[in-house]
Structure 1
């Protein structure tokens, strides 16, 4: 069963999402806390994972990140990775006060940008007893250098500086598209064809609250974010990492390099697909049961 829920952060922002009750359990249950990646909202296929986990006996809390989707917060489209990490930890705190969650059996799940957050939260917060990080960002700077041509990177940094000066003078934050809409030459935060195909494909009708814009400083914060630096500190919390072998958005070879830095207990699942394929079809059919098994093993 799914119900709408909302909770307030320490700075007074209301975050909204869903709670999935686990099949076959009446009372406090193990819980997985989930949020989505860069600009995405919960309707971007997180409900499929949540339903699968709930059918397997896990409670699930899924919510929209602040400034996005159904959640409050301003400026709209602002994506601050460290604020999102803090909100994950607030979600854990709030869930632990609810009658349907066992506060001693909480896991975290993240994918893409939030896959990086899951690594950080698991390293910093020992209330987390298990973590799944799917196609995660592990290094903002190294990843940005893969996505942005070297001759364009200086121009991007100049745009960051100009936006900072304009904000200091009282202007609103500059905005940038998440994905190009028609022409690959359009400036976009995630300038890949598969990003366009995901957000403007069939899933678009499932997520009407999504907006194809974020603040430019969200991209600046992306470049400065290094969640993989925390990966060796996750142990002894069990870590499963799911990597898409053909991923060129959060590039697979870089993710695999960082996985080697993680300590036991850990498990790696490599899917022979691209970044967004990890959410659907054959990859989902392989990955979701493996993730459920991991959570059930370590959350009891």
Structure 2
């Protein structure tokens, strides 16, 4: 499928790079979907597969790497800032609207994993968004921290964050931690076994520019991020949540609790499997087709 390499300005003038997929068989300006990946992931990690499904259905698609990752600019490298990332999504919407192929009144946002949280937040505050899909979304940093770290270890973790802040204030290099580890007892951003297996395999097969490191401050910022708190403000924008019943990375129960707070129109689909099953096999087919149909229903009418 034909796609165009693109670049546009993110928040603060940072250059973001990605792909534009034109809507297939469109003779007039068509709707557009802005897509972003999860924490540390790059666009080559199956976002192209989703974009092709959407483009074949008559939707324009904007896909790009978050600042500090992949092909996009930004320093320090491998730093995951949720505030700047969701502001960049709003810049990507502006970029899409300014393309002649795009009907700027019909914009959708799709996010997965950590960016599934961004999708919820952006849809709540930016009413240019007319349909939103949050796939295996990150809901609450405080709940994630409480579920992942023993209470007696939290103070020690916060001391490490404070030490990194002091070091950076003095001009030192940011502390870094692995994204994944083969030993689930070792410190990492994602210690789950399925995270290690998916990132290792996907990076080797599709994304050699992915790096197994992230700044320690990224973990601190993630623990403070509460995109689920915005979910009741998404209405009247139609919401689709795609969740996995065995998800240990973005726990299933957190998504269900958030969904209860969302207002109509809303829909939820439950995928049988883990967090990463959405990116391949039957899980991909189920998620991609559900998202495609949601966008067509609400953007093409």
> Paired residue for 1:291?
291
Aligned 8 A contact 2:109 2:119 in 1? yes
Return 195-204 or 159-168, whichever deviates more: 195-204
1:179-194 → structure 2 map (5 Å cutoff): 179-180=180-181, 182-194=182-194
Q: Partner of 1:215 in structure 2?
A: 215
TM-score norm. by structure 2 comes to 0.97
Distance 2:10 2:277 in 1: 32
Where does residue 137 of structure 2 map in the other structure?
136
Per-residue CA deviations over 1:136-166 (Å, capped at 9, x if unaligned) read 0110110122222334322211110111111
Cα distance in structure 2, aligned partners of 1:147 and 1:190: 10
Structure 2 partner of 1:172: 173
Distance in 1 of aligned mates of 2:112 and 2:183: 27
Long gaps (5+) in structure 1: none
Q: Provide the residue aligned with 2:13 in structure 1.
A: 12
Map 1:55-204 to 2 at 5 A.
55-180=56-181, 182-204=182-204
Q: Classify the secondary structure of the residue corresponding to 1:57.
A: coil
Between 286-295 and 65-74, report the one with greater CA deviation.
Answer: 286-295
Q: What whole-Å deviation, never above 9, does each CA across 1:217-267 have from its counterpart, x for those lacking one?
A: 010000000000000000000000001000011000111011010000000
Q: Report the counterpart of residue 47 of structure 2 in structure 1.
A: 46
User: Aligned to 2:261, what secondary structure does the other structure show?
Assistant: coil
Structure 2 unpaired stretches of 5+: none
The Cα shift of 1:73 comes to 0.4
Note if contact 1:147-1:249 (Cα within 8 Å) is conserved in structure 2.
no
SS of 1:62's partner is: strand
The residue number in structure 1 matching 2:4 is 3
Separation of aligned partners in 2, 1:65 and 1:255? 23
Once residues 251 and 148 of structure 1 are traced to their aligned partners in structure 2, the CA distance between those partners, rounded to angstroms, is 14
| 2:234 alignment partner in structure 1 | 234
Secondary structure of the residue that 1:260 maps to in structure 2? helix
Cα distance in 1 for partners of 2:10, 2:285 equals: 35
Distance 1:284 1:162 in 2: 41
Report the equivalent of 1:247. 247
Kept in 1, the 8 Å contact 2:31–2:102? The answer is yes
SS at 1:133 equivalent: strand
In structure 2, the residue corresponding to 1:184 is in which secondary structure? coil
Q: Structure 1: how far apart are the matches of 2:161 and 2:132?
A: 33
Cα offset for 1:59? 0.8
Shift of 1:184: 2.6
Alignment of 1:257-268 (within 5 A): 257-268=257-268
> 1:32-62, CA deviations, whole angstroms, 9 ceiling, x for partnerless residues?
0001010000011111111111111111100
CA RMSD of superposed structures (Å):
1.1
Q: Deviations over 1:67-126 (max 9, x none)?
A: 000000000011110100100000001111111111100000000000000000000000
Distance across 1 between alignment mates of 2:143 and 2:60: 35
Partners of 2:278 and 2:284 within 8 A in 1: yes
The alpha-carbon deviation at position 205 of structure 1 amounts to 2.3
Give the alignment's TM-score, normalised by structure 1.
0.97
Distance across 1 between alignment mates of 2:130 and 2:232: 16
Q: Is the deviation greater in 208-217 or in 106-115?
A: 208-217
Q: Per the alignment, in what secondary structure is the counterpart of residue 37 of structure 1?
A: coil
Partner-residue secondary structure (3-state), 1:11: helix
Q: How many angstroms apart in 2 are the aligned matches of 1:186 and 1:280?
A: 27
**8 Å Cα contact 1:130/1:298 also seen in 2:** yes
For the 8 Å contact 1:27–1:99, the answer to whether it is kept is no
Shift of 1:278: 1.3
